[in-house]
Chain A
Amino acid sequence: MIKEYQTVTGIAGPLIIADRIPDAKFDEVVDIELPSGEIRTGKILEVDGDRAMIQVFEGTEGLDISSTKIRLKGRGLEIGVSPDILGRVFSGLGKPIDNGPQIIPEKKLDINGAPINPYARDYPNDFIQTGISSIDGLNTLSRGQKLPIFSGSGLPHSRIAAQIARQARVLRGEEKFAVVFGAMGITFEEAEFFMTNFRETGAIENAVLYTNLANDPAIERIATPRVALTAAEYLAFDLGMHVLVILTDMTNYCESLREVSAARKEVPGRRGYPGYLYTDLAMLYERAGRIKDKPGSITLIPILTMPDDDKTHPIPDLTGYITEGQIILDRGLERKKVYPPIDPLPSLSRLRDKAIGQGKTREDHPPVASQVFAAYSRGREVRELMVVLGEGSLSDVDRQYLKFAEQFEKNFLSQGENENRSITDTLDLCWELLLILPREELKRIRDELYQKYAHGKR
């Protein structure tokens, strides 16, 4: 018999306090029943004596002290999964919202998951071709990687994420592929953009969508990425699929966390975000990866908008400390009409070096990428110098670097939203650009490779 308590003594922000509820467990799920019969979902954040602090996912609006009923569920928050979740749309808490049938669960999974044993991991070193030159060539994505997009409001992160979802493939072999999409607090238009995209490309059949929109309860967002990742783990490690997870917008998620933390009157960390934000985000992001002897994988692309385009803001900062690199969008490039406006210099893929080169992409890839970085960075310095001192102050080599930077932005960074470049095209393009510079400047490229690729082309 499930016991029912009508012992709420306080309501504050997204939290309720219940007394005389001695059986409550830490992190346990509760049903909260309103007089209208409406049932909300809560989670126990703290137990102290016979008092429990409960976070209400749907918010506390309309709850009162005397008539609210609480039922302990004796378990954590779970979702039911089965292969039928593919092609379906769910709420941010995992309830179907597409008028389709209820899912008959094959099993129920706790949305918190459990940490992957580092000893069980397999290293993500399979090159994924996204067809986007600046990612494939310079900041390569691997299968099983967690690579966020750091964006700003108004920048085309959704278009880029959708393009990646459309075009991503591995060079060898065809395998089962799925997309899990978790939306936290984004607008209806943005969500619709992804849906339309998935529908038009037929990807919807292999997609699962969890959506919490801007007008949905904010606290529910805390559950959404966990729900999405739990589904992804099932698809990847039970069904053996290669799953691409897109989570957008992580900034909204973090704000919900901050709201709960403030309501709990915790000592705030930087900019009011809780001190445990790093750990909290790590528990999400680290669910990406590969596991030895299992065919599937989870590749994770979280999207976040940097408040004030500031990379040192706690959300991008802590994310960058956890993820295996970051793709950074730049407003300056956007203004120059560069699509995708990815600034390669502060962007990074930490797994690149293990995913490229001989036998993976092409033998010249590592030194070419390194050289292109150095050259573009020098080109940008020259451009700044020119702004201050005028063109007359530039040496001949400076001018060549300047030309490199211009051409690089125009021909390499820029590409069509439906343009799907092969890695060979991307690398050949790099050579074309590098040949703008004299041989002595290309210090990172050995003679053998230079002869083979530079002169081979000329």
Chain B
Amino acid sequence: MTNDKLKMSNGGRIIKVAGPLVVAEGVPKARMADVVKVGKNKLIGEIIELKGETASIQVYEETAGIGVGDPVVSTGMPLSVELGPGLLQSIYDGIQRPLQELLKASGDFIGRGIAVNSLDRKKKWDFTPKAKKGDKVKPGDILGTVQETSLIEHRIMVPVGIEGTVDEIKKGSFTVAQTVAKVSGKEVSMLQHWPVRKPRPFANKLPVREPLVTGQRIIDTLFTIAKGGTACIPGPFGSGKTVVQHQLAKWANADIIVFIGCGERGNEMTDVLIEFPELKDPKSGKPLMERTVLIANTSNMPIAAREASVYTGAAIAEYYRDMGYNVSLSADSTSRWAEALREMSGRLEEMPGEEGYPAYLGARLADFYERAGYGVCLGSDQRKGSFTIVGSVSPPGGDLSEPVVQNTLRIVKVFWGLDYALAHKRHFPAINWLLSYSLYLNNLEDFFKEQVADDWSNIRADAMRLLSEESELEEIVRLVGIDALSAREQLILFVTKSIREDFLFQSAFDEVDQYTTLKKQYYLLKVIITLYHEALKAVEGGVELDRIKAMKAIPQIARARLITEAEAENKLAQLASDVVEEIKTLKGAAK
């Protein structure tokens, strides 16, 4: 052994390197899930298995050049995130290193062994106290606030583990690491640490009761997601998972968005980075970036950090939820995380389960989605917050029977199934309306009744019924031709074409079309359903279907989705009554 190696022998030493898995022996104070520094470059890793004297480590950076005998030291800390002002508008890698800082350290290409703080230690924030000296406080209580962005007030909460009387509270400009208060002798700063794999607790969870409004018609009207709910979007490549996730991140009425690019394309993150600062929040007119945290562990970045990235995102999301915000997290794609699990499991030579995935895949997915929810946050003021999780799934060959899709469907309550055939026709969003579902509709019915329209659920039910009849009728047409259908059946096909093309079809790239309020969604669909009911009476009363098809209102319906929000209510209500009137004249003429 060389001198060099002898010197290191008071630390652990590597005995095996196989890609992202490193095995070391004799690591002092090795504990499961603790972060370690690997090799002379001090690469960041995490202990994922302990057996006697040996520790198996997944390394979050490229391991080329690492060899047997290289040192390993434990930091004694589990993989944690830094929480505090400055998270918003950041873009992090999977282990919360700011990409901007990595750029400063190693240029356009990511180097190795770069240790950087997640939150800026120099930046000063204006801290406004909310608690007073002498107040009794417990975890979750709000000590003070910081205007983090012009859109979001950051609430500095008493960290878990601290409780008692406020001895001192400051006001003014501080860095995240400086003390802003003393509680029962303990100094509290604006910076907290939290182990990513441990869920941050709710005071208590409640049933969901409000929709997360996304402005996407097929989602809001047919397959609604709730604030605090869970949804998945499985689909083959090119079917529109990422576009749906981007639309949600842009338009969902959440207060905070956490977007995780997990093992996907670099340019998709660039797209968000360029576009979001330009886009304005529909309510406040402020840049959408001001409510957004991005996590980018793209497909060419180290695989183990993909697995960490979803937890990093969840911990940040929960932290804002704890402040009483509605937070929505998009994970694109959870399959890449599952593949990272499979890869590490394979290297550990664990017994492979279905398609090589480890047996604990289902449990890991369940634990993750269980972190979502709506409820009362920690703290005395009983504030409520929600955390919604939407995960993309990328099944090989688009085959929904594969393990990641199946295990996910067992947990999540909303399923938006994307469809090759629709995507090829460029019918977007390519969400298959026969396959998809939302289990939140009952919880949300009251909301729609009160906030949108009394007959919302009837209209929705009509649309769903017609669409499912359409698929049966199409089957008949394929076999024997359209002439075999009755006038009523032909009318259904005419109306469902309109539901598909004039309501469900929604371009993500059209200024007006990309976002539709609930009101406009309702009026738009109402016009089409009105057309159906009125035309049905007319057809049954002897009016020829061709006369219905030739109505003046039809081309107007076709372009109604492009009516601006400002004009929507008036114009669409007018259009509905035009439909009624025009059919009345047709009926008159038929007599």
**B63-71, B140-148, B315-323, B457-465: which lies at the interface:** B63-71
Contacts of A322 in B (CB 8 A): 265, 299
Report B348 CB to chain A, min CB distance, Å: 11
Partner among A118, A123, A276, A348 whose Cβ is within 8 Å of the Cβ of B298: A118
Q: Are B17 and A26 in contact (CB under 8 A)?
A: yes
Are A118 and B397 also in contact (CB < 8 A) when A345-B425, A370-B426, A393-B481 are?
no
The interface residues of chain A lying within 8 Å CB-to-CB of B394 are 321
A49-B16, A282-B299 given as contacts; is B425 within 8 A of A113 (CB)? Answer: no
Please give, as numbers and ranges, the residues of chain A lying within 8 Å of B343 by CB-CB distance.
Answer: 275-276, 279
Q: Would you call A267 and B352 a contact (CB within 8 A)?
A: yes
Closest to B239 in A: A348
Cα distance, A12 to B399, chains bound together (Å): 35
Of A54-62, A312-320, A403-411, A416-424, the segment with at least 4 beta carbons within 8 Å of chain B is A312-320
Contact (A46, B346) CB under 8 Å given A76-B64, A317-B397, A373-B426 = no
Assess whether A317 is in contact with B267, with CB atoms less than 8 Å apart. no
Check: B585 CB closer than 8 A to any chain A CB. Answer: no
Stretch at the interface among A17-25, A98-106, A155-163, A211-219: A17-25
Q: Which residue of A lies closest to B555 (CB)?
A: A440
Is there contact, CB below 8 Å, between B298 and A267? no
Stretch at the interface among B97-105, B280-288, B438-446, B535-543: B97-105
Q: Cβ of A351 and Cβ of B68 under 8 Å apart? A: no
Binds A, one of B203-211, B268-276, B379-387: B268-276
Q: Are B299 and A118 in contact (CB under 8 A)?
A: no
Interface residues of A in 265-281 (CB under 8 A from B): 266-270, 275-276, 278-279
A182 within 8 A of B: no
Pick the contact of A114: B111, B478, B480, B501 (CB < 8 A).
B111
Q: Is the CB of A117 within 8 A of B103?
A: yes
Please state if B299 and A312 are interface contacts (CB–CB under 8 Å): no
Contact of B68 among A24, A291, A314 (CB under 8 A): A24
A124 vs B266: C-alpha distance in the bound complex, in angstroms? 11
Are A321 and B99 interface neighbours, CB within 8 A? no
Q: Does A201 contact B (CB under 8 A)?
A: no
User: Which of B17, B271, B558 makes the CB contact (< 8 A) with A440?
Assistant: B558
B-contact 0/1 string along A355-382, CB 8 Å cutoff: 0000000000010001001100110000
A120 to B266, CA, bound (A): 10
- B108 & A324 in contact (Cβ 8 Å cutoff): no
The size class of the interface chain B forms with chain A is 35 or more
Known contacts A23-B67, A49-B16; is-contact A374 B426 (Cβ 8 Å): yes
Question: Which of chain A's residues have a CB closer than 8 A to the CB of B352?
Answer: 267
Q: B449-463 toward A: CB 8 Å interface, digit per residue (1/0)?
A: 000000000000000
* CB-contacts of A308-337 with B (<8 A): 312-314, 317-318, 320-322, 324-326
**CB of A142 to closest CB in B, whole Å:** 10
Q: A286-B266, A370-B507 are in contact. Are A377 and B67 (CB under 8 A)?
A: no
A270 surroundings in chain B (CB, below 8 A):
355, 396
Chain A residue, CB-CB nearest to B549? A440
Given the complex, which residues of A lie within 8 Å of B339, measured CB to CB? 275, 278-279
Known contacts A325-B238, A345-B424, A377-B426, A117 near B480 by CB under 8 Å:
no
Q: Which of A25, A266, A294, A389 touches B346 (beta carbons < 8 Å)?
A: A266
Q: Which residue of A lies closest to B272 (CB)?
A: A118
Which chain B residue has the least Cβ–Cβ distance from A119?
Answer: B99
Cα-based distance from A74 to B55 in the complex (angstroms): 26
Tell me if A446 counts as interface (CB < 8 A to partner B).
yes
A47, B67: Cβ atoms closer than 8 Å:
yes
Partner of B108, one of A25, A116, A268, A348: A116
A7 — which chain B residues lie within 8 A by C-beta? none
CB distance from B17 to the nearest CB of A (A): 4
**A177 contacts which chain B residues (CB < 8 A)?**
none
B327 at the interface (CB under 8 A from A): no
Within 8 A of A (CB), among B321-373: 336, 339, 342-343, 346, 352, 355-356
Beyond A49-B15, A389-B481, is A377–B425 a contact (Cβ under 8 Å)?
yes
In the complex, the answer to whether A275 meets B103 with C-beta atoms within 8 Å is no
Assess whether A312 is in contact with B397, with CB atoms less than 8 Å apart.
Answer: yes
Q: Contact at B356–A385, with CB atoms within 8 Å? A: no
Residues B300 and A320 in contact, CB atoms below 8 Å apart: no
Q: Does A50 contact B (CB under 8 A)?
A: yes
Q: Which A residues lie within 8 Å of B269 (CB)? A: 118, 121
Interface pair A119/B100, CB less than 8 Å apart: yes
Contacting residue for A48 out of B18, B346, B398, CB 8 A? B18
Min distance, Cβ A253 to any Cβ of chain B, angstroms: 16
A46 to B347, CA, bound (A): 11
- Chain B nearest CB: distance from A302 CB in Å? 15
With A26-B65, A325-B238 as contacts: A312 and B399 at CB distance below 8 Å: yes
B290 CB within 8 Å of chain A:
no
With a cutoff of 8 Å between Cβ atoms, the chain A residues found around residue B298 in the complex are: 115, 118, 282, 286
Q: Does A5 contact B (CB under 8 A)?
A: no
Known contacts A47-B16, A314-B396: A114-B109 contact under CB 8 Å = yes
Q: How far is the CA of A321 from the CA of B478 in the complex (A)?
A: 33
| Contact A118-B296, Cβ < 8 Å, known A278-B339, A322-B265 | yes
- Residue of B16, B263, B336, B397 with highest tally of chain A CB at under 10 A: B397
Alpha-carbon distance between A22 and B66 when the two chains are bound, in angstroms? 12
Q: Flag whether B34 is at the interface (Cβ < 8 A).
A: no
State A319–B294 Cα separation when bound (angstroms).
Answer: 25
CA distance A115 to B296 in the complex (A): 12
Contact B356 A114 (CB under 8 A): no
Q: Is B466 an interface residue (CB 8 A)?
A: no
B65 touches A27 (CB 8 A): yes
Please give the distance in Å from B143's CB to the nearest CB on chain A: 33
B270 shortest CB reach to chain A, Å: 4
Distance from A157 Cβ to chain B, minimum over Cβ atoms (Å): 19
Whether a CB of chain A sits under 8 angstroms from the CB of B491 is: no
State whether A116 and B109 are in contact (beta carbons under 8 Å apart), knowing that A393-B483, A443-B501 are contacts in the complex. yes
Q: List 6 A-B contacts (CB under 8 A).
A: A115-B298, A118-B261, A118-B296, A278-B299, A286-B266, A346-B424
Besides the known contacts A123-B267, A440-B554, 12 further A-B residue pairs in the complex with CB atoms under 8 A apart: A24-B68, A25-B67, A76-B65, A114-B111, A118-B269, A278-B339, A312-B396, A322-B299, A326-B238, A348-B238, A373-B426, A377-B424
Nearest 9 CB-CB pairings of A with B:
A312-B397, A282-B299, A27-B64, A286-B300, A119-B99, A25-B67, A114-B109, A320-B237, A26-B17
